[in-house]
A and B are shown apart, each in its own frame.
Chain A
Amino acid sequence: MTNKKMSGAALVIRALKELNIEYIFGYPGGSVLDIYDALFVQDDVKHILVRHEQAATHMADGYARATGKVGVVLATSGPGATNCVTGIATAYMDSIPMVVLSGQVPTSLIGDDAFQETDIVGCSRPIVKHSFNCRDAHKIPEILAKAFYLAASGRPGPVVVELPKDILNPALEFEFSMPTDIKMRSYNPSKKGHPKQIKKAAQTILNAKKLVVYSGGGVVLSNTSEQLTHLVESLNSPITNTLMGLGGISGTHPNFVGMLGMHGSLEANKAMAGADVILALGVRFDDRVTNNVNKFCPNATIIHVDVDPTSISKTIHAHIPVVGDLATVFSQLQAEIDSSELQIDRASQEDWWRQINNWRDQKCMSYSKDSQKIKPQTVIETLYKVTQGDAYISSDVGQHQMFAAQYYPFAKPRQWINSGGLGTMGFGLPAAMGVKLAFPEKESVVVTGDGSIQMNIQELSTCMQYGLPVKIVSLNNRSLGMVRQWQDMVYSGRHSFSYMESLPDFVKLAESYGHVGIRVDKIEELEPALTKAMSIKDRLVFLDINIDETEHVYPMQIKTGAIDDMWLKKGVKA
Chain B
Amino acid sequence: MRRILSIILENEPGALSRIIGLFSQRAYNIDSLTVGTTDDKSISRITITTQGSEKILEQITKQVNKLVDVLKILDLTEVSHIERELILIKVTANNEKSRAAVTRVTDVFGGSILDMGKTTYTLQLVSSTEKLASFIDSLKNETDIIEVVRSGALGLNRGDKALRV
Binary contact track B90-112/A, C-beta < 8 Å → 1, others 0: 00000000000000000000000
Q: Is the CB of B65 within 8 A of A125?
A: no
Q: Any chain A CB within 8 A of the CB of B21?
A: yes
Q: Is the CB of B62 within 8 A of A309?
A: yes
Q: Is the CB of B9 within 8 A of A186?
A: yes
Q: Is the CB of B21 within 8 A of A129?
A: no
Q: Is the CB of B165 within 8 A of A185?
A: yes
Q: Is the CB of B17 within 8 A of A122?
A: yes
Q: Any chain B CB within 8 A of the CB of A133?
A: yes
Q: Is the CB of B59 within 8 A of A186?
A: no
Q: Any chain A CB within 8 A of the CB of B158?
A: no
Question: Which residue of chain A lies nearest to B63 when distances are taken between CB atoms in the complex?
Answer: A310
With A186-B9, A186-B68 as given contacts, are A125 and B59 in contact (CB-CB < 8 Å)?
Answer: no
Which chain B residues border A129 with CB–CB below 8 Å?
68
The interface size bin for chain B is: 10 to 19
Q: CB < 8 Å: which of A125, A150, A186, A314 contacts B70?
A: A186
State the main secondary structure of chain B at its contact with A: mixed
Q: Any chain B CB within 8 A of the CB of A254?
A: no
A175 to B25, CA, bound (A): 42
Binary contact track B69-104/A, C-beta < 8 Å → 1, others 0: 111000000000000000000000000000000000
Chain A, range 109-161, C-beta contacts under 8 Å to B: 121-122, 125-126, 129-131, 133, 150
How many residues of chain A get a CB closer than 8 Å to chain B's CBs? 17
Q: Is the CB of A186 within 8 A of B71?
A: yes
A138 to B147, CA, bound (A): 48
Q: Chain A nearest CB: distance from B63 CB in Å?
A: 5
Q: Any chain B CB within 8 A of the CB of A308?
A: yes
Q: Is the CB of A309 within 8 A of B71?
A: no
Q: Chain B nearest CB: distance from A139 CB in Å?
A: 13
Q: Any chain A CB within 8 A of the CB of B159?
A: no
Which chain A residues border B131 with CB–CB below 8 Å?
none
Q: Chain B nearest CB: distance from A318 CB in Å?
A: 13
A56 to B58, CA, bound (A): 36
Q: Is the CB of B71 within 8 A of A184?
A: no
Which chain B residues border A122 with CB–CB below 8 Å?
17
Q: Chain A nearest CB: distance from B117 CB in Å?
A: 37
Which chain B residues border A150 with CB–CB below 8 Å?
68
Q: Is the CB of B14 within 8 A of A131?
A: yes
Which chain B residues border A187 with CB–CB below 8 Å?
68
With A125-B18, A126-B25, A133-B13 as given contacts, are A184 and B59 in contact (CB-CB < 8 Å)?
Answer: no
Q: Chain B nearest CB: distance from A194 CB in Å?
A: 16
Which chain A residues border B10 with CB–CB below 8 Å?
186
A186 to B68, CA, bound (A): 6
Q: Is the CB of A133 within 8 A of B68?
A: no
Count of CB-CB pairs between chains A and B under 8 Å: 35
Q: Is the CB of B66 within 8 A of A310?
A: yes
With A184-B68, A186-B9 as given contacts, are A314 and B17 in contact (CB-CB < 8 Å)?
Answer: no
Question: Which residue of chain A lies nearest to B58 when distances are taken between CB atoms in the complex?
Answer: A313
Q: CB < 8 Å: which of B9, B17, B66, B71 contacts A125?
A: B17
Q: Is the CB of A133 within 8 A of B14?
A: yes
Which chain B residues border A186 with CB–CB below 8 Å?
9-10, 68-71
Q: Is the CB of A130 within 8 A of B68?
A: yes
Chain A, range 152-190, C-beta contacts under 8 Å to B: 184-187
Q: Chain A nearest CB: distance from B43 CB in Å?
A: 10
Which chain B residues border A125 with CB–CB below 8 Å?
14, 17-18, 21
Question: Which residue of chain A lies nearest to B10 when distances are taken between CB atoms in the complex?
Answer: A186
A126 to B26, CA, bound (A): 12
Chain B, range 52-69, C-beta contacts under 8 Å to A: 59, 62-63, 65-69
Q: Is the CB of A309 within 8 A of B13?
A: no
Chain A, range 165-221, C-beta contacts under 8 Å to B: 184-187
A506 to B21, CA, bound (A): 44
Q: Chain A nearest CB: distance from B56 CB in Å?
A: 10
Which chain A residues border B65 with CB–CB below 8 Å?
309
Which chain A residues border B21 with CB–CB below 8 Å?
125-126
Which chain B residues border A309 with CB–CB below 8 Å?
62, 65-66
Q: CB < 8 Å: which of A121, A133, A185, A310 contacts B62?
A: A310
Q: Chain A nearest CB: distance from B44 CB in Å?
A: 11
Which chain A residues border B70 with CB–CB below 8 Å?
186
Question: Which residue of chain B lies nearest to A150 when distances are taken between CB atoms in the complex?
Answer: B68
Binary contact track B27-66/A, C-beta < 8 Å → 1, others 0: 0000000000000000000000000000000010011011
A185 to B68, CA, bound (A): 9
A309 to B21, CA, bound (A): 19
A121 to B15, CA, bound (A): 11
Q: Chain A nearest CB: distance from B12 CB in Å?
A: 9
Chain B, range 1-26, C-beta contacts under 8 Å to A: 9-10, 13-14, 17-18, 21, 25
Q: CB < 8 Å: which of B13, B18, B59, B69 contacts A314?
A: B59
A237 to B63, CA, bound (A): 33
Question: Which residue of chain B lies nearest to A126 when distances are taken between CB atoms in the complex?
Answer: B21
A186 to B66, CA, bound (A): 9
A129 to B69, CA, bound (A): 11
A374 to B13, CA, bound (A): 57
Question: Which residue of chain A lies nearest to B9 when distances are taken between CB atoms in the complex?
Answer: A186
A419 to B100, CA, bound (A): 70
Chain A, range 284-322, C-beta contacts under 8 Å to B: 308-310, 314
Question: Which residue of chain A lies nearest to B71 when distances are taken between CB atoms in the complex?
Answer: A186
Chain A, range 250-309, C-beta contacts under 8 Å to B: 308-309
Q: In the complex, which of the residues B14, B59, B63, B71 has the most CB atoms of chain A within 10 Å of its own CB atom? A: B14
With A131-B14, A133-B14, A309-B66 as given contacts, are A185 and B71 in contact (CB-CB < 8 Å)?
Answer: yes
A390 to B120, CA, bound (A): 83
Q: Chain B nearest CB: distance from A293 CB in Å?
A: 11
Q: Chain A nearest CB: distance from B65 CB in Å?
A: 7
CB-defined A-B contacts under 8 Å, sample of 20: A121-B14, A122-B17, A125-B18, A126-B21, A130-B67, A130-B69, A131-B14, A133-B14, A150-B68, A184-B68, A185-B71, A186-B10, A186-B68, A186-B69, A186-B70, A309-B65, A309-B66, A310-B62, A310-B66, A314-B59
List residues of A whose CB falls within 8 A of some B CB. 121-122, 125-126, 129-131, 133, 150, 184-187, 308-310, 314
List residues of B whose CB falls within 8 A of some A CB. 9-10, 13-14, 17-18, 21, 25, 59, 62-63, 65-71, 165
Top 8 A-B residue pairs of the complex, sorted by shortest distance between their CB atoms: A130-B68, A310-B62, A186-B71, A187-B68, A310-B66, A310-B63, A186-B10, A126-B21
Known: A121-B14, A185-B71, A186-B9. 19 other contacts (CB 8 A): A122-B17, A125-B14, A125-B18, A125-B21, A126-B21, A129-B68, A130-B67, A130-B68, A133-B13, A150-B68, A185-B165, A186-B68, A186-B69, A308-B66, A309-B65, A309-B66, A310-B59, A310-B62, A310-B66
